[in-house]
Amino acid sequence: MGLLDKVDNLDDKEPAKKATPKKAVAKKATPKKAVAKKATPKAAVKSAKPKKVSVDQPKKLRPTGLPEGYELAGKMPRYIGWLINFAWNFGVLIGTLSVFIFGDPDLTIGFAGASLMILINWLVIPIWTGRNIGEFVSRTKYINSSGSKPLFLHAILNNSLGFLFLIGFILVGISFSDLSTTSGMTNIGIGAFFMITWVVNFFFKKNSDYSQGVFDLAFSAYLVKHVATGTETGWLAKFESLGDFGDKWQQKQEERTKKAQEKAEKRAADAASKESSNEDSEDDESKEPESED
């Protein structure tokens, strides 16, 4: 019996020792959950990076509208600039054409001089300085929305409007008798397009708040008053001195308009005083019969 009891006790102890490793194996599976939790902060860091790009985007926007510190050119400087440009570009050309009508055979010098003056004011000076002769005389210039000189194409296209109208007028006049031919209709169509472009640009300027034409709107350009820095030298200083002539002309025009206004006010005051005196005399005449009664 004693031996059997010992055997039974051994059988009871052996299963208890074998069960212990199973619990240890179950504990080894717990670190896997901790690894899954460590992956969550990386996703949060990656998702936060694109938000910084959206904050910096508005800083790249270009300015629009008339920049601060500049004043739009008035009607008188615009008129002076247009008149000077017209006289410079077409003065010699019109004189040469008028002589050509009377039959002078040799007008090479006249046409060459007119072409040279047109090229200087149309291409050379605008590309070099961004202004033409008329703008130097009227002390005006074109700027874009950032306050700098517009692209040189703006000056070339803007100065081409008068030439386009003249070329269109000549094409229509020459080809008007050839309406039955294809070439005549083509020339008339091209000429009409050039003339309509000038008319559309004119109406755009009249109806715009900033007096901008077609090409001014395309390049965001504004005609403003120009103030010389005083540091100009050479040809640029000579061009700037042309503004003195424009200032004197503008001063004379202002004096004339002021005198005209004073005369108009004086005439209106004289007319009002005459009307009041006539009314007083009529009242006196109406009162005289009552006094006799």
Q: Does the residue 290 lie in any domain?
A: no
Confidence of residue 234 (pLDDT cuts 50, 70, 90): confident
Q: Does the residue 35 lie in any domain?
A: no
Question: Residue 99 and residue 199: Cα distance in Å, rounded?
Answer: 30
Question: Residue 35 and residue 129: Cα distance in Å, rounded?
Answer: 70
Confidence of residue 289 (pLDDT cuts 50, 70, 90): low
pLDDT of residue 142: 94
Helices marked H in the chain? 2-28, 31-38, 40-48, 51-56, 75-101, 108-119, 125-129, 133-138, 152-175, 182-207, 214-219, 235-292
The CA-based angle 90-94-203, given to 5 degrees, is 50
Report residue 132 CA to chain centroid gap.
17
Q: Does the residue 180 lie in any domain?
A: yes
Residue 288, token pair as written in the block: 């005289």
Question: Residue 178 and residue 172: Cα distance in Å, rounded?
Answer: 10
Q: Does the residue 224 lie in any domain?
A: yes
Q: Does the residue 190 lie in any domain?
A: yes
| Average pLDDT, integer, range 61-83 | 83
Q: Does the residue 216 lie in any domain?
A: yes
In the predicted model, is pLDDT for residue 222 greater than 90? yes
Confidence of residue 81 (pLDDT cuts 50, 70, 90): very high
Domain that holds residue 93: 75-234
- Structure confidence by residue, pLDDT tens digits, 85-106: 999 998 888 888 888 777 666 7
Lowest mean pLDDT among 260-264, 268-272, 286-290: 286-290
Percent of the chain with pLDDT over 90: 27
In the predicted model, is pLDDT for residue 265 greater than 70? yes
Tally of domains in the chain: 1
CB 70 within 8 Å of CB 147: yes
pLDDT of residue 78: 92
Q: Does the residue 292 lie in any domain?
A: no
Confidence of residue 288 (pLDDT cuts 50, 70, 90): low
pLDDT of residue 228: 83
Lowest mean pLDDT among 12-21, 79-88, 125-134, 245-254: 12-21
pLDDT of residue 204: 93
90 vs 15, more confident? 90
Q: What's the pTM?
A: 0.66
The average confidence (pLDDT) of the chain is: 78
The interaxial angle of helices 75-101 and 235-292, nearest 10 deg, is: 110
Q: Does the residue 47 lie in any domain?
A: no
Confidence of residue 35 (pLDDT cuts 50, 70, 90): very low
* Contacts of range 163-167, beta carbons closer than 8 Å, 24 or more positions apart: 163/89, 163/118, 163/122, 164/194, 164/195, 164/197, 164/198, 165/194, 165/195, 165/197, 165/198, 166/90, 167/191, 167/194
Question: Residue 78 and residue 134: Cα distance in Å, rounded?
Answer: 9
In the predicted model, is pLDDT for residue 255 greater than 60? yes
pLDDT of residue 194: 93
CA-nearest of 67, 81, 231 to 149 is: 67
